[in-house]
Structure 1
Amino acid sequence: MACAMLLGSKLPHYLWLDALRHATYILNRIPRPGTTLTPHERLFAVQPELRRVPVFGQSVVIRVPEPVRRKRFRFDGRGELGAFIGLNETIKGYRVYVPGDTQRIRESAGVIALDRMLHDDVVLPDDGTPPPPADGGGEDGYESINDEEIEAHYDEPAQLSHRTRRTPAEAQDVADFMRSTHFSREEVEAINGSASLTDRRRSERIQARDLSAAFLCLAEVIREPLNMAEARRSPQWPEWERAVHVEIKALEDNDTFELVRLPPGTRALDNTVQFRLKLAADGSIEKFKARVCARGDRQVYLLDYIETHAPVIDLVCVKVFFAFVVKVDMAMRQGDVPAAYLKAPLVETVYVKQVKGFEKAEHEGKVWRLKKALYGLRQAGRQWHQEIDGFLR
């Protein structure tokens, strides 16, 4: 479906991820074969609304932000022509591709949809160069939109202008089209040229439609938070909070730090927490993971670190090694060192603040004095290399 959307819109191929996201959004809101309920309705008990969602690649007009418009000629247009490429679940607005612009992906709470596709208006060369992300300011001063500025609900995007004359098919129409694309068993056998396909007993058969409906919902609903604030707003906050406690406990057990008073005249680095989902082989969530990292970007040379170089093997050497193993018919094994950087002793004295919201009551006002390297430090890679090099030698 995503491939058909991208090819039909004639948009550049590097927008494949946007096409995939929008296809997932649509599939979550249309009935699956054999049922009248959509995955979204099963999960939230709310009937989805697709009539106000433009077609992928449809021409839309997005408003030029006021700060940018002031820098332009007074009689320049207040809108820019672009192509609709999906909805942003974070800011609850529209994502628009604007060709020929420095920051090609724009986001807005409201757009004006036109009764044609973008490729009918302009020629879209596919130069293969992906656009910069749209979450920050561009060279021309565009700014991202805060949640407070957008009142429209994500499932019901902002009301389109009365000039909108084209609306996509309703959910049931899209579902009928999706069902029509399924091949029967006889058609599959004719294509494969085989007389019959091996049957499985019904008790051993996995209902693919049930799994697909569940995983389609999972792919959209469960998101990895970008920071602690976003994790706290997440419905999965209890799992993320538990993961942070597990991470801090692991640092304590590893003797990575000790809690001390910050000496006068010194400073403590900030920290950040990275959140990750560990998936099982079938795509289900196996574990919620959190990793505490130091803000190495705020380290000062000669104060928090001195040397940072750590040798890394070249890819050519890896390929030569693999070729040699095959040539002499050797067996090769690989291993992994979990939390490798945390096992390397630290030479410099580095102080890091406690994780905000997870401070220990009996150690209020204290900071971490690192005994071992922490992810994010500039010298962490070098310290780990020295540790493993001494062990291997």
Structure 2
Amino acid sequence: MVYRNPEKKNFAERAQHGMIVGIGEETKGYRVYLPKDKKVVTTQHVRNIETLDKEQNQNVQKLYLQDDETGDEEETAGNAAAAASNSKKKSRMKGKKKKGYTRERHVTRSVARRAGDQAAEAAEQEESSGDVVNSVTEVDPRNYGEAMRSRQKEKWLKAIAEELRALEDNGVWKVVRKPRDARVLHTKWVFKTKLDAEELIERLKARLVACGNEQEFGVNYHITFAAVIDMTSVKLILVLARKWRVPAKHGDVPNAYVKAEKEAGLTIYINLPQGMVISEEVLKLVGVESAKELVLELQKALYGLKQAGRLWNQLLHKKLIDIGFEQSLTDMCVYFRWRNGVLLVVGVYVDDLLVTGTEQSAVDAFFGELKEFSVKDLGQASKFLGMRITYDDADGYNLDQEVLIQEMLKDHSMEHAHGVRTPIGPEWNELRGAECEKLPVTGGAEVATVKRFQSLVGSLMWVSRCTRPDIAFAVHKASRRTHDTTVDDWKLTKRY
């Protein structure tokens, strides 16, 4: 890792090797230990980040603690020398600038003094999240090959095994000989590091999905529409929870799609997923010599299929109606039930449930009524649809999407970008009628393309709809440029 010091002069050393030991608390940036200077600084100027294993992280913490006292002395001496050499220059400065310089020196010294406390805290965070450095720098694999080359290979293999076991336990497929002229869909693995509301690693998740883009209408799918809850309804449920003084609870249905039966009259085949091992016993049972002659015939829906969301929604709807719920006339994904003078309200977003009611006991008992779906009771809602939810009796609910926004910044290499006061400037008006370079339709992973622009605008629209209505006008302006996108459009949209 390299720490860039912007205060160095032209011919002075511009960078130093450092080690990330945590994330800044008071200022935005990384806390970096500099072995050469024996001190810890907080900075955004980090380049060439390399992931350390757990043993290396522990060594960093030991050095961090050993050099704390020495670093404090050296930095104090360095500040005194700098103050003496610049005393004449500083005496000519105005009072405002002089006060700012004093504050800067105070902050620098306080960083060194807090080194021991911060090291202990960093070690505690490492224990809770698994690995401080890796939680900051590890990137989710984009495919099976990257997962096998990752430092987290063993953990990803474990996640893959858990997913395959869950699919087999649910009877999602049966192994058959590949029929002649059969339309076989490819599959892929989607890897995701699940974070909790505090942005700490909760678990590693591997999900097997079918390549639904290979499906043909009328051959292996018919209707695809599936409703999802409107964000206004989510906020209304939270308002009701606040009014009734019954905190909303969050429920999650694991492997929801695979609990629904496939469409009647359709036969869907998928290739054997990467990482799946077929035993000799199964080969003999099917009557083939090699796994290359096998495919999987789906018995239930699978993530990635165009109709999977609809099939699951129909199954959950039927169950809720059977246990006495009624569907709202204004939002198809909001259900309510009056029973013995108690009102219960449920909001559904695919496999996430948001539940509240007039009595806490009724809310607690609700998930037991859906035991056939193995619904997880996640307790009081703290994270829902990418939103962090905080609640207290005095102020009620507060929603933010800090984690999602940070992920968006990382995806577009903007972790160290500076904020602006306004989401839109006069630049948009200057683009009218101007001839600008068009964005390419295709390109590499680091190339700005029309597809990446559309993805960015879509993410911004979701954020503006959920928690940031202040950027709605600017995002609406950007959405007009999704099919005739220029390089300047890309630059201005990244401003948001």
Structure of greater relative contact order (alpha carbons < 8 Å, 6+ residues apart):
1
Compute the TM-score of the two structures, normalised by the length of structure 2: 0.39
Bigger strand share: 2
